[in-house]
Amino acid sequence: MSAPVVSVLVPAKDEADNLPEFLRQCAVALGGAPFPFEVVVVNDGSRDDTAAVLTRLQGDYPFLRVVTHRRQRGIADALTSAADAALGDIFVFYPADLQYRPEDIPALVQPILDGQADIVTGTKQGKYEKAFVSGIYNRLCRFLFGVDATDLNSVKAYRREVVTGLPLRPDWHRYMVVIAVTDGFRLTSRPVPLYPRQAGVSKFTWRRIPVGVLDLLSVWFQLRFGRKPMLFFGVAGALLFVVGFLAGVVALVLRFGYGIGFRPLLNLVETMVISGIALFGFGFLGEMVAGIREELRETARRARQGGGEE
């Protein structure tokens, strides 16, 4: 087999019932594709027969590669492990639950092969249970990040370099697109049908909603102020300090001009001034951390360039 150009990255947690049909569909849909491919399945700490099923399927499908996590580490870590093991230059994130069919993978990959985009997101077609939550998430992302895409939490294809140096922290795979677009990668989308799950259970629960909101705010803050933390902490600290200073002037005028002592005003002065100084301190610390992070990124970039030249 020739070296793969496209690597399909498949996180799988307790998907023993879906994997045989999923890989059969991959063989049918991609076997005649104009590009060599591989399927990298990450067994993310499954407790069912996923490991045994994958071992058997490796004998049936030479394009299948398997990565195993001893415990469940989540989709973000699974994608990172799959990317480390993958050989292709184009990655396709695809779940194993058969809600998306492999027959749509060539349409996702084609804009990248044609040089028209670096990331292609799938826009879900059809009804699904999480439509309301997904709609809120997509609208918030478009509002906060200005990303011109209807559906950011779906299957996607992207160049290998998109994830190079990408901070894929737990659950941050949902924000891969907005982080990459912020770094200047080109984005487009293609419609993909969504089908009901045939076996297994969904890993999505209501407990992930508040976590997702907090992650959204964290990503927005880091993209907006990650390289210039003083822009946030310095301005906020200056405003508080000015408020405290003005309140102090008012307190002095009332005390010595009118003989009025107002204790809560003195407490306000203390709180505002101390908070302003503290925020300025956070800003300076943030600037030092940002400088160290930029140095690490530059070192990693030079290391990658050196490895490529060798």
Which of 104-118, 218-232, 240-254 is least confident?
Answer: 218-232
Q: What is the pLDDT of residues 9-54, one digit of tens each?
A: 999 998 899 999 999 999 999 988 889 999 999 999 999 899 999 9
- Of the candidates 199, 225, 251, which is a domain's last residue? 225
Whole-angstrom Cα distance, residue 180 to residue 17?
Answer: 34
Run of H or E residues at 303:
helix 263-309
Residues 278 and 134 grouped into a single domain:
no
Are 111 and 119 in contact by the 8 Å Cβ rule? The answer is no
Residues 275 and 203 grouped into a single domain:
no
Note whether residue 298 is domain-resident.
yes
Note whether residue 1 is domain-resident.
no
pLDDT: which is higher, 28 or 1: 28
Residues 48 and 161 grouped into a single domain:
yes
- Of the candidates 225, 244, 269, which is a domain's last residue? 225
Note whether residue 93 is domain-resident.
yes
Residues 65 and 214 grouped into a single domain:
yes
When divided into structural domains, the chain yields a total of: 2
Residues 183 and 250 grouped into a single domain:
no
Note whether residue 310 is domain-resident.
no
pLDDT: which is higher, 117 or 280: 117
Q: For residue 72, give the CATH number of its domain.
A: 3.90.550.10
The domain of 283 spans: 229-305
The pTM assigned to this predicted structure is: 0.74
Residues 6 or more apart whose Cβ sits within 8 Å of residue 263: none
